[in-house]
């Protein structure tokens, strides 16, 4: 075997070993979080249930949620590992899992991505509407510092399934701060499970959930819809008028 070929083989073996170690570490981490993840699924399912029953009836709804619970339990050890508790973005992978599983189960029962997206959106709006509105105000310097550090760390690309992003300083007028996501962990996760068509509906929830933090989200493109990045721009909301943004047909692909 030539030296070049041997070096290539060594690199390939090292890469395979790293992937195996990451998967093992991830499986152990998420298995240790199993009860919390299933509790998160149950919380989501409870929120979805009334919207599903009104459309499909109790029998169909109970069947879907039972299957989704079982599939969530199976998926837990396979959630992409990006550093566990040392990476704040792990929260988003865990939080996106119930919606992913619901989509997969609904699809298996011949329901569309839009149908599932609308259920999840309506349920989320209902929950957030119950929260008192409070403007976020200007971000404190410590928050800005931490976000700069997190963005810089993401660019090390330690985990292939992680986010890669830049922190964007506010312009003092139109937005307080922002993020440019060049790679998205949820997009990679959903793509691996054949959920590309559902992803734009899930991403629409960003407009809904930012209200909980008293902010307005502005965005002109997303990776989910073929953009070169997701360009989040955030500004403290004056009030909650005009919220939430209408869930429209155009959110799908």
Q: Which residues have C-beta within 8 Å of that of residue 33, sequence separation ≥ 6?
A: 76, 94
**113: its two tokens:** 């991505």
In this structure, are 183 and 228 located in the same domain? yes
Please state the separation of Cα 106 from the chain's center in Å: 19
- Which tens digit of pLDDT belongs to each residue from 128-145? 989 888 899 999 999 999
Could you tell me which of 65, 66, 60 has the C-alpha nearest to residue 48? Answer: 65
Say if residue 166 is in the same domain as residue 75: no
* Helix and strand totals (H; E) in the chain: 8, 4
Which of 109, 129, 149 is a domain's end point? 129
Task: Evaluate whether 133 touches 238 at the Cβ level (below 8 Å).
Answer: no
Q: Averaged over 89-105, what is the pLDDT?
A: 98
CA-closest candidate to residue 161, choices 82, 226, 67: 82
- Of 12-16, 106-110, 185-189, 196-200, the range with the lowest mean pLDDT is 12-16
Mean pLDDT, range 55-69, rounded to an integer: 98
d(CA 96, CA 205): 11
Domain boundary, last residue among 79, 101, 129:
129
Q: Is 216 exposed, middle or buried (0-12, 13-18, 19+ CB in 10 A)?
A: buried
Looking at the predicted structure, is the pLDDT value of residue 57 above 90?
Answer: yes
Indicate if the pLDDT at residue 110 is higher than 70. Answer: yes
Please indicate, yes or no, whether residues 161 and 88 belong to a single structural domain of this protein.
Answer: no
Q: What is the pLDDT of residue 133?
A: 86
Q: Which domain holds residue 238?
A: 141-251
Q: Nearest-CA neighbor of 88 among 223, 200, 179, 15?
A: 179
Provide the mean pLDDT of the chain: 90
Please identify which residue in the block is written with the tokens 């837990």. Answer: 76
Cβ atoms of 134 and 80 closer than 8 Å: no
178, 247: one domain: yes
Nearest Cα to Cα of residue 93 among 108, 76, 109: 76
| Structure confidence at residue 238 as a pLDDT band (50, 70, 90) | confident
Backbone phi, psi, residue 125, to 5°: -60, -45
Cis peptide before 244 (omega within 30 of 0): yes
Task: Report the SS3 class of residue 250.
Answer: helix
The residue-averaged pLDDT of 30-46 equals 97
* Statement: residue 1 has pLDDT above 70: no
Q: 224 and 153 in one domain?
A: yes
Whole-number pLDDT of residue 13: 46
Q: Which residues contact 138 (CB under 8 A, 6 or more apart)?
A: 176, 236
- Model confidence pLDDT, tens digit, residues 190-229: 999 999 999 999 999 999 899 889 999 999 999 999 999 9
pLDDT reported for residue 79: 97
Q: Which of these three, 129, 150, 166, is where a domain ends?
A: 129
Q: Tokens standing for 245?
A: 């943004």
Residue 51 lies in a domain: yes
Reported as type and span, the H/E element at residue 87 is none
User: What is the C-alpha to C-alpha distance for residues 101 and 84, in angstroms, rounded to an integer?
Assistant: 21
**pLDDT attached to residue 18:** 60
Looking at the structure, do residues 214 and 109 belong to the same domain, yes or no? Answer: no
């Amino acid at each position: 075997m030539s030296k070049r070929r041997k070096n290539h083989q060594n690199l390939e073996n090292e890469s395979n070993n790293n992937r195996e170690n990451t998967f093992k570490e991830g499986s152990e981490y998420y298995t240790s979080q199993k009860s919390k993840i299933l509790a998160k699924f149950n919380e989501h399912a409870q929120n979805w249930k009334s919207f599903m029953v009104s459309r499909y009836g109790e029998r169909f709804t109970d069947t879907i949620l039972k299957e989704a619970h079982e599939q969530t339990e199976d998926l837990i050890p396979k959630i992409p590992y990006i550093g566990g508790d040392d990476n704040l973005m792990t929260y988003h992978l865990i939080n996106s899992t119930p919606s992913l599983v619901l989509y997969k189960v609904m699809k298996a029962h011949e329901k569309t991505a839009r149908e599932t997206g609308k259920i999840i959106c309506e349920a989320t709006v209902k929950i957030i509407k119950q929260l008192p509105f409070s403007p976020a105000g200007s971000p404190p310097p410590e928050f800005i510092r931490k976000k700069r550090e997190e963005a810089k760390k993401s660019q090390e690309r330690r985990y292939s399934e992680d986010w890669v992003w830049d922190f964007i300083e506010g312009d003092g007028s139109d937005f307080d701060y922002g993020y440019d996501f060049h790679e998205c962990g949820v997009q990679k996760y959903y793509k691996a499970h054949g959920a590309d068509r559902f992803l734009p509906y899930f991403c629409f929830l960003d407009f809904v959930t930012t209200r909980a933090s008293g902010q307005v989200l502005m965005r002109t493109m997303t990776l989910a819809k073929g953009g070169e990045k997701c360009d989040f721009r955030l500004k403290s909301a004056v009030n909650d008028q005009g919220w939430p943004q209408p869930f429209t047909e155009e959110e799908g692909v």
